[in-house]
């Protein structure tokens, strides 16, 4: 009985994570890649400026992924 309940909880968590990834994370990934591409299109920028720009584009996604990871670790 406890194994069945554990299995249902695990399935619910996996479903929630998949939904979050599909509904939120993918959109953030798309925005990050579009932003990064704009950074690379700036022909007047130095290599370091382009790198910093790309890092700024990645920051929101990295924060979101860190939050999801921390929440899942706390849940376990």
CA atoms of 76 and 9, how far apart (whole Å): 11
Residue 76, pLDDT above cutoff 80: no
| Greatest Cα pair distance in the chain | 65
- Domain boundaries along the sequence of the chain: 22-74
Q: How many CB atoms lie within 10 A of CB 39?
A: 17
In the prediction, which pLDDT does 16 show?
A: 87
Q: What is the DSSP letter of 6?
A: H
Please compute the mean of the pLDDT values over residues 10-38 and round it to a whole number.
93
What is the tens place of the pLDDT at every residue in 34-71? 999 999 999 999 999 999 999 999 999 999 999 999 99
Host H or E run for residue 44: none
């Amino acid at each position: 009985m406890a194994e069945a309940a554990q299995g249902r909880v695990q399935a619910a968590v996996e479903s929630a994570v998949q939904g979050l990834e599909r509904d939120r994370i993918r959109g953030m990934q798309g925005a990050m890649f579009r932003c990064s591409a704009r950074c690379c299109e700036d022909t007047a920028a130095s290599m370091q400026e382009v790198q910093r720009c790309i890092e700024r584009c990645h920051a929101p996604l990295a924060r979101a992924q860190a939050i999801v990871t921390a929440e899942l670790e706390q849940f376990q």
